[in-house]
Structure 1
Amino acid sequence: MKKTKLLFGMGILAVVGAVLVAADHIDAPGTTGNTADIADFYGFESPSNPDNTVFIVDLQTNVLEDLAYGTFDENVLTEINIDTDNDLIEDLVIQAIPRRDTMYFFGPFEPTMTGKNSEVMIGSPLGQVAISGESALTTTTETGISLFAGPRQDAFFFDFGQFNKVIGGTAPEGFLPEGEAVDTFDGANTMALVLEIPNSVLGETTATNALGLKVYKTWVTTNRKQ
């Protein structure tokens, strides 16, 4: 695979937290319906190893259960950006890009350029995993990094109908309590990228969340090939 220059981040989600979530389920027409569309970004301490961090990037929000599984776009590069000196500029980058039935991961590395322009850094391989279909396939590298790429059920719970009523002023009762709210995304899938990676590879934490815990300052971008 050649080093490829990519331009123009098609979407971005930014988060800071020990258990962190960001969501964006309605994107611009140019990204909706393909894996340039960032739906959710999660980051949290590994349940099985407190010295590891798990990153989950959910792409393409409209992969419905009764439709064919979506596919990763080979012209789209997904990047997890990490700020290690608190200046809101990426200092480390983890990349994921598909080729046929395999997802290739690279990094973490110091990027040669920041902002909208990116290069696939094939000189910094992190690992690769077969893209899952109906079965969930996970690869763990020799360095203890676990990787997954494929469809997963959408974990984002949101009562979109009630939200519209609240915004429209037709729901004086406000949002519905647990047990009454309807999960609009129940049964829908996303195309997910999942990494579990040792904190020693990610460097020092640079932010403090609302609970007073030291965390990574990180965000996700997708870039389409120029």
Structure 2
Amino acid sequence: MSHILVVDDEPQMLRVLKINLHARHYSVLTAATGAEALDLAGQEFPEAVLLDLGLPDLDGMDIIRGLRAWSTVPIIVISGRDSPTEKIKALDAGADDYLTKPFVVEELMARLRAVLRRPPGEVAPTRAVIGGHEVDVAAATVTGPDGPVRLTPTEWKILAMLVASPGRLVPGREILREVWGPEQEEHSNYLRVYLATLRRKLEPDPARPRYLITEPRIGYRYQP
């Protein structure tokens, strides 16, 4: 049974999340302040944290940084702050995912399952499946139903970053920084072009991607 720490100062939200998590057989810890959240995380070592940013004592960004100073626990932000700037700040601070309130509970649970699939400290996977294609990152090969699929060096770099963190939202600026360099972090059009090409090569239905997912204006994820 996974222990989930839910951090929110709204009693109704805590209640709703606690009921839904218990119904799915998770053990739940709750905190209404940032200080309480940090104390519980240090004492109970949860498997994941669901974190609201608007707390009465500490800003959620500070909690993310505080946790990241000593822990790799997956953090999913659930917040009413819906601007892309806030989302990027949270992801850059160390959050694994970001969901805007109001949200569909089933979507939150799917994202929680995704971040729990890879235990903290596990070596990044070197193989992945995208539709009928098998990706071997270590060997730099993609094999599809009709044989090998050729990817350019840039496509490989992008794909390797995504499949290394299954289910995790990778900020677009992080990909741009790693692939093209820090001076290119604002050129999101590069990524749109390359992701479209990767989908044409790998997705069963490129117009409705199932594996290489875009979070508009924020980033991308490989969804197994």
Structure number having the greater helix percentage:
2
* TM band (smaller chain): under 0.3
Relative to the length of structure 2, the TM-score reads: 0.24
Structure number having the greater strand percentage:
1
Q: Which has the higher contact order (CA 8 A, sep 6+)?
A: 1
